[in-house]
Amino acid sequence: MIEDLKKSLDSVNTLSELNEVKAEYLGKKGYITSLYSKMRDLSNDEKKSFGAKINKIKTEATDLVDDKKKKIETKILNEKLMNESIDISLPATEIKVGAPSILEKIVEDIEELLMSMGYDVVDGPEVEKDKYNFEMLNLPKGHPARDAQDTFYVKGDELLLRSQTSPVQVRTMLAGKGEKPIRMICPGKTYRRDDDDATHSHQFMQIEGLLVDKNISLSDLKGTFDVIAKHLFGEECQTRFRPSYYPFTEPSVEMDISCHHCKGKGCNICKNTGWITVSGAGMVHPNVLKNCGYDPKEWSGFAFGFGAERLAMIKYDIDDLRVFYTNDLRESRVFDRKEDN
Amino acid sequence: MIDLEWVKDYIDINDQDLKELAVKITKAGINIEKVITNHIDNLVIGEVMECKMHPDSDHLHVCKVNVGDKVLQIVCGASNVRKGLKVIAALPGAILPLNFEIKKSKIRGIESNGMLCALFELGLEEKNDETYDKGIYEVNDDAIVGMDAMEYLGLDNTLYELDVHKHRNNDCYYHIGFAYEIGAILNRKVTLPDDTTHPLKDSVQKHFNLKVETDKCPYYLAKMVTGVKIGESPEFIKRRLNAYGMRSINNVVDISNYVMLEYGQPLHFFDKDSLGDNILVRDAFEGEQIKTLDGIERKLTKNDIVITDGDKPVCIAGVMGGENTEVTDNTKNILIESAIFDGVSIRNTSNRLDLRSEASIRYGKGLSYEYTLKTIERACHLLEKYAGAKVLSGTVCHDKVDKTLETVIFKSSEISTLLGISISDDDVKVELDRLGFPFEYNKGEFKATIPSRRLDIEPYVNDIAEEIGRLYGYHNLVSTLPNVPIKKGEYALDIKYRKIISKRLRSLGLNEVKTYTLISPKMASMFKYEDKEQIVLPKPMSVDKSVIRTTLIPSLLNVYEYNRDHKVSDVNIYEIAKTYDNDFKEESKICMLMSSNYLLNRWHGVNVKVDFYLVKGIVQNVLDYLGFKNRYTFEKKEIPDLHPGVCGSIMLDGKQIGVIGKIHPSLTKDDIYAVELSLEALMSKVKPIKFKAALKYPEIVKDMAFAVKKDITSEEVVNVIKKAGGKLLTDIKLFDLYTGEHVSSDEKSLAYSLTFSSNDRTLSEDEVMKVFENIISKVEEKLGAKLRNQ
- B447: enclosing H helix or E strand: strand B445-449
**B481 near A CB under 8 A:** yes
CB contact under 8 A, B364 and A101: no
Subunit contact A202:B479, Cβ cutoff 8 A = no
Interface of B with A in 87-106 (CB under 8 A): none
Q: Are B514 and A104 inside 8 Å of each other by CB?
A: yes
Q: How confident is the model at residue B116 (pLDDT cuts 50, 70, 90)?
A: very high
Cα distances (Å, whole numbers) of residue B179 to B11, B172, B191, B204: 6, 8, 9, 33
Considering only residues B118 and A272, tell me which one the structure prediction assigns the higher pLDDT: B118
What would the pLDDT profile of B72-103 be if each residue is shown by its tens digit? 999 998 989 999 999 999 999 898 877 788 99
Are A330 and B566 a contacting pair at CB < 8 A?
Answer: yes
* ipTM confidence: 0.89
pLDDT confidence of residue A148: 64
Q: Do B502 and A161 touch (CB under 8 A)?
A: no
B220 vs A142, which has greater pLDDT?
A: B220
* Interface with B, mutate which of A152, A157, A248 (most B CBs under 10 A): A152
CB B673 within 8 Å of CB B749: no
Task: Give yes or no for B562 touching A (CB within 8 A).
Answer: yes
CB B230 within 8 A of CB B329: yes
For chains A and B, CB pairs below 8 A equal: 261
| B640 preceded by a cis bond (ω within 30 of 0) | no
Average pLDDT, chain B: 93
Higher pLDDT among residues B53 and A33, named by residue = B53
Query: Percent of chain B scored above 70 by pLDDT?
Result: 100
Question: Would you call B480 and A220 a contact, using CB atoms and an 8 Å cutoff?
Answer: yes
What is the arithmetic mean of pLDDT over B536-555?
96
- Rounded to a whole number of angstroms, the distance from the CA of B391 to the nearest CA of chain A is 38
pLDDT tops 90 at residue B334: yes
Q: What angle do CA B378, B379, B385 make, to 5 degrees?
A: 90
Q: pLDDT at position A211, please?
A: 98
What is the model's pLDDT at position B554?
98
For residues B518 and B536, give the distance between their C-alpha atoms in angstroms, rounded to a whole number. Answer: 9
Q: Do B474 and A242 touch (CB under 8 A)?
A: yes
Give B537's contacts in chain A (Cβ within 8 Å).
152-154
Report the residue from A111, A142, A223 with minimal CB separation from B481. A223
* Backbone angles phi and psi of B249, in degrees to 5: -105, -65
CA-CA-CA-CA torsion for A306, A310, A312, A316, nearest 10 degrees?
-140
Contact call for A219 and B477, based on CB within 8 A? yes
**Chain A residues touching B460 at Cβ < 8 A:** 250, 285-287, 296
Across A224-233, B133-142, B143-152, the highest mean pLDDT is recorded for A224-233
CB contact under 8 A, B484 and A327: no
The answer for residues whose C-beta is within 8 angstroms of residue A34's C-beta and 6 or more apart is none
CB atoms A127 and B548 under 8 Å: yes
Distances (CA, A) of B61 to B55, B58, B67: 9, 9, 17
Quick one: average pLDDT of B533-540?
A: 95
- pTM, whole model, 2 decimals? 0.81
For the stretch B194-209, pLDDT in tens is 999 999 999 998 888 9
DSSP B611-664: -HHHHHHHHHHHHHHTT-TTSEEEEE---TTEEEEEEEEEEETTEEEEEEEEEP
Write down all domains in chain B, each with its CATH number in brackets: 2-38+157-186 (3.30.56.10), 43-153 (2.40.50.140), 200-399 (3.50.40.10), 407-476 (3.30.56.10), 493-682 (3.30.930.10), 700-788 (3.30.70.380)
Please determine, for residue B790, whether its predicted confidence score (pLDDT) is greater than 70: no
Predicted local distance difference test score (pLDDT) of residue A61: 87
Say which of B516, B574, B584 has its CB closest to residue A159. B584
Using the Cβ of B356 and the Cβ atoms of chain A, whether some distance falls under 8 Å is answered with no
Cβ count within 10 A of residue B78: 21
> What pLDDT, on the 0 to 100 scale, is given for residue A100?
96
B246-266 pLDDT per residue, tens? 888 999 999 999 999 999 999
Contact residues for B257 (Cβ-Cβ < 8 A; gap 6+): B241, B246, B358
Instruction: Encode pLDDT of B622-669 as tens digits.
Output: 999 999 999 999 999 999 999 999 999 999 999 999 999 999 999 999
Other C-beta atoms lying within 10 Å of the C-beta of residue A119: 24
User: How large is the average pLDDT for residues B558-584?
Assistant: 96
Residue B181 at interface with chain A, using a CB cutoff of 8 Å: no
Please state, in angstroms and rounded to a whole number, the distance separating the CA atoms of residues B196 and B193.
Answer: 9
Dist CA B511 CA B78 (whole Å) = 69
Residues of chain A falling short of pLDDT 70? 147-149, 341
Task: Give the model's pLDDT for residue B256.
Answer: 96
| pLDDT above 90: percentage of residues in chain B | 78
SS3 B589: strand
Could you give the 3-state DSSP secondary structure of residue B279? strand
Sign, CA dihedral B519-B521-B525-B528, equals positive
| Pairwise CA distance, residues B303 & B320, whole Å | 16
Q: Residue A121: which of B483, B487, B495 has the nearest Cβ?
A: B495
The predicted pLDDT at position A341 comes to: 61
Number of Cβ within a 10 Å radius of residue B132 = 13
CA distance B360 to chain A (A): 14
**pLDDT (tens digit, 9 = 90+) per residue, B166-194?**
777 778 889 999 999 999 999 999 999 99
pLDDT tens digits for range B283-323: 999 999 999 999 999 999 999 999 999 999 999 999 999 99
Q: Are the beta carbons of A96 and B478 separated by less than 8 Å?
A: no
Mean pLDDT of B728-742: 93
- Sequence letter at residue B456: D
Residues of B within 8 A of A127 (CB-CB) are: 535, 548, 580, 584, 586
Q: What is the pLDDT of residues B710-719, one digit of tens each?
A: 999 999 999 9
**Which residue of chain A has the CA closest to B418?**
A217
CB atoms within 10 A of CB B781: 11
